[in-house]
Amino acid sequence: MSGLFAGKKGLITGVFNKQSIAWAIAEQVMEQGGDCGFTHMPDKPDDERRKNQGRVEKLIDGNPRAKFLVPMDVTNDEHVASVAEKCKSEFGNIDFLLHSIAFAPPEDLKKDTVDTSREGFKLAMAISVHSLMALSSAHKDLLSPGSSILTLTYFGGEKAVPGYNVMGVCKAALDATVRYLAYDLGPRDIRVNALSAGPVQTISGRGAGVDEMLGLYEAMAPLGRNITHEEVGKSGVYLLSDMSSGVTGEILHVDAGYNAMGSPGRLLDKF
């Protein structure tokens, strides 16, 4: 087997469907020879249709590089521990861990940040931020020297992006978490980075206002367009692989350059 991930194995979280950023990254990791274990959001015990499991099963079905699929709600410590157990029994050690998980209650996401409820804030932070700590902690003894942890963030954690609201506050905390985990895990030669993606159409993205942002990015970004799922996948491969061996505690923007702008630039031509 050739490829950047030949002989490497790891965990992919956050695949909901074909549009998920986690899937865009996982597809390319597997193409490059990496073996992947997957998690899915648990289905309700009385739901015989098992939609969450079924959707991911359909995606990985027949791919020899997809080694297992297990349920995990990241707010449940037992689930997280059992995913680490599964990685241990299936793989022994792992070389990469992808955290591609975020959630805020829609009623809080829609509110001005100033009116965020305490419960909504706690849940959003637990799922979108603490989960990176929990997964990293549960897997730190399995992650080989030279391995890589990657999370997904957004520019709304660096600057106020109206409509992104409480999720922007979560992303600011996630960005800081990346830096602190990079420090904690550096002595083990485990790297921790974030990929800051421009807007892409996904189920969570739509809830967070992606549709409105696509036009703005096209008009303002130096490349004059939006990014593709494939481009996020390629940069994910870079950050999860040895290609980025000297990079940790970093936020890599994959956004056609939007974050580099300090004025609306070519958008002004439209007025």
Annotated binding site for substrate: 104
Rule CB under 6 A: say whether 154 interacts with ligand NAD: yes
Select which of 164, 217, 238, 258 is catalytic: 164
Residue closer to ligand NAD, measured from CB, 81 or 268: 81
Rule CB under 6 A: say whether 161 interacts with ligand NAD: no
Q: Does residue 154 carry a catalytic annotation?
A: yes
Tokens of 139: 């897997």
Measured N-to-C along each axis, helices 77-91 and 131-139 cross at an angle, to the nearest 10 degrees, of 40
For residues 262 and 227, the answer to whether their CB atoms sit within 8 Å is no
Minimum distance, C-beta of residue 1 to ligand NAD, in the bound complex (Å): 27
For residues 181 and 149, the answer to whether their CB atoms sit within 8 Å is yes
Nearest residue to 74 (alpha-carbon basis) of 121, 122, 13:
13
Interacting residue with ligand NAD among 147, 204, 241, 248 (CB under 6 A): 204
Q: Does residue 164 carry a catalytic annotation?
A: yes
Contacts of 74 by beta carbon, 8 Å cutoff, 6+ apart:
13, 80, 101, 127, 131, 134, 135
C-alpha neighbours within 13 Å on the C-beta side of residue 25: 31
For residues 192 and 178, the answer to whether their CB atoms sit within 8 Å is yes
Residue closer to ligand NAD, measured from CB, 53 or 144: 53
DSSP letters along 8-40, please? -EEEE----STT-HHHHHHHHHHHTT-EEEEEE
**Residue-wise burial string across 211-249, b where 16 or more C-beta atoms lie within 10 A, e elsewhere:** eebbeebbbbbeeeebbebebbbebbbbbbbeebeeebb
Give the footprint of ligand NAD on residues 63-82 (CB under 6 A).
Answer: 72-75
Binding-site residue ranges: 14, 20-21, 73-74, 101, 104, 171, 200-204
Rule CB under 6 A: say whether 94 interacts with ligand NAD: no
Residue closer to ligand NAD, measured from CB, 97 or 200: 200
Rule CB under 6 A: say whether 127 interacts with ligand NAD: yes
Alpha carbons 196 and 153: distance in angstroms, whole number:
5
Rule CB under 6 A: say whether 109 interacts with ligand NAD: no
Residue closer to ligand NAD, measured from CB, 91 or 103: 103
Give the footprint of ligand NAD on residues 13-32 (CB under 6 A).
Answer: 14-16, 20-22
Minimum distance, C-beta of residue 176 to ligand NAD, in the bound complex (Å): 15
List, by residue number, the catalytic residues. 154, 164
Q: Which chain residues interact with ligand NAD by CB under 6 A?
A: 14-16, 20-22, 41, 72-75, 100-103, 127, 152-154, 197, 199-200, 202-205, 210
